[in-house]
Amino acid sequence: MVVLVNQAGLNAAFIFLLFGSAILHLASGSTTRLFKWSVQHQYWSPDCVENVVITINGQFPGPTIRARAGDTIVVELTNQLETEGVVIHWHGIRQFGTPWADGTASISQCAINPGETFIYRFKVPKAGTYFYHGHYGMQRSAGLYGSLIVDVAKGEKEPFQYDGEFNLLLSDWWHKASEEQEVALSSKPFRWIGEPQTLLINGRGQYNCSLAAKFNKSSDVPTCQFSGNEQCAPQTLHVQPNKTYRLRLASTTALASLNFAIGNHKIKVVEADGNYVQPFVVDEMDIYSGESYSILFKTDQDPSQNYWISLSVRGRLPKTPEARTILNYSPSSPSNLPNSPPPVAPIWNDYNHSKTFSNKILSQIGSPKPPPSFDRRIILLNTQNHIDGYIKWSINNVSLLLPTTPYLGSIKFGLKGAFDHKKPPQTYPIDYNVMMPAPNTNATYGNGIYMLDFNSTVDVILQNANALAVNVSEIHPWHLHGHDFWVLAYGDGKFTKEDEKKFNLKNPPLRNTAVIFPYGWTALRFVANNPGVWAFHCHIEPHLHMGMGVVFAEGVHLIGKVPNDAFSCGLTGKILNHKG
């Protein structure tokens, strides 16, 4: 048994058994929710092919955390991986006052070594659909993720009504181990890991078979059979006729951008990344890695039939089969496959279709508006480069190589030699042609950070460009830790000052993840009002592994005492050991 004392220092102890959880109700009405987690490797069959995954308490995906706005989450995490460290990032949770709990190795904390335990303690201030995932190496590719759902505080109501709720966590899956993928991406010559074998819905997919085989006359792929293999059997969504359901969607894919649809049903988007949006109705929707949504749908179809829920690849030539599960109307049997064919996915490279969807997302009336002007503008050029013969991704010609000492600790303790204190580039050469491969493809490694004035308004222009190959520019979903930002505009080609006229300052959506389209740009604005050191990076796992990210720091001097066990490695570890 373990005894934990809550963060407020109350004179109470909370005892809970191994792998269990406990709940403490405070006098203010908020709750402290306690979890004891063990992270380990385990054999699993996510797509009916046995492989090794990273589990939490023997579960894949990991346990769903459910809390209310204002609650405190406490996770006592023990690393039982045999040979590698681990951290957990709580995606979309801003970590006000607890920047060391953000879960980014070498940025907010040291990796938790095998056999060690670290306690994450943080508040969830705002209702919404979130998730968590590993942020060390490529452990997200190995299955280290789960859902984190925050309901409205007691006595409050959502701005929409529904009769029932479902939660779908979307991911992709390789048969090649994440460690092998890391080696391939860091090899000379470069070895691309290939497209994922399978798309997963709540950790379940089907490799080399199809639920809807009868509708694909040109294929000899057999119909899936699940006898004795429940780990990959699709989870059916059971509904009653003439009801309205809320469906929470979150994408923790390592590579794939996705399109989601429910056959014969319209879907209404009402939440994005934990922020309410002006509701709008579509037939299907795109969702990029790092994004989360809530959608509403009405069960207004023939109740004697079942319907397909379908997931397909966007932005890359689809070499991964679509994922499917079934929407089961009562009283129809859940074993009855739908009679109608699955939804037809948009053409994978129809970016105008994708841009149309992204531009429909606007903040709910009454949401905070962005400041009318900025104090600082940083333009980040995304390029693919060579460094000593290795292929890397770079930002303004610098490929991020994280230090051994976490930035948060080294800045807090005033260390000078822990990272490069030279300011990273604010922009890129004005004559750079984003539509063509760079004439000089060489870049450099770096670990400098952008120091932001506290409470300043920062504009970030994400500028996409041609990769190393001719006529190749990829989708990049960028995620900012510690903040939400306003998405002011998307544009094509090279951003210029004239493009500021396109900025939406009236009702831009608040997000924590935003996409830049091929050969395009995306303009973001945020207020640097959260003391800490925060990652900002492409959420595609191979791209981050290859250097596609930057680091922001703000107001670190305002942070009070930090837990020593967050900084027990590198130079901070030596300081703390000396003091001890």
The 10s digit of each residue's pLDDT in 293-341 is: 999 999 999 999 999 999 999 999 999 999 999 999 999 999 899 999 9
* Cβ burial 21-58 (10 Å sphere, 16+ → b, else e): bbebeeeeebbbbbbbbbbbbeebbbbbbebebbbbbe
The reported pLDDT for the residue numbered 229 is 80
The reported pLDDT for the residue numbered 225 is 87
Domains of the chain: 2-157 (2.60.40.420), 164-360 (2.60.40.420), 376-576 (2.60.40.420)
The region that residue 492 occupies, defined by phi over 0 for left and psi between -120 and 50 for alpha, beta otherwise, is beta
The reported pLDDT for the residue numbered 580 is 54
The reported pLDDT for the residue numbered 242 is 98
What distances in angstroms separate CA 334 from CA 168, 328, 443, one per listed residue? 18, 5, 55
pLDDT tens sequence across 241-299: 999 999 999 999 999 999 999 999 999 999 999 999 999 999 999 999 999 999 999 99
Pick from 208, 23, 95: nearest CA to 559: 95
The reported pLDDT for the residue numbered 15 is 34
CA dihedral 491, 492, 493, 495 (to 10 degrees): -10
409 contacts: CB under 8 Å, gap ≥ 6: 110, 415, 562, 566, 567, 570, 572
The answer to whether residues 197 and 331 touch, using CB atoms and an 8 Å cutoff, is no
Residue 347 DSSP code: P
The reported pLDDT for the residue numbered 13 is 33
How many other β-carbons are positioned within 10 Å of the β-carbon of residue 375? 14
* Cα 274 to Cα 185: distance, rounded to the nearest angstrom: 33
The reported pLDDT for the residue numbered 66 is 98
* Cα 96 to Cα 79: distance, rounded to the nearest angstrom: 25
Is the bond preceding 61 in cis, omega lying within 30 degrees of 0?
A: yes
Q: How many residues does the chain have?
A: 580
* Cα 140 to Cα 146: distance, rounded to the nearest angstrom: 10
Q: Which residues of the chain have pLDDT under 70?
A: 1-29, 217-218, 578-580
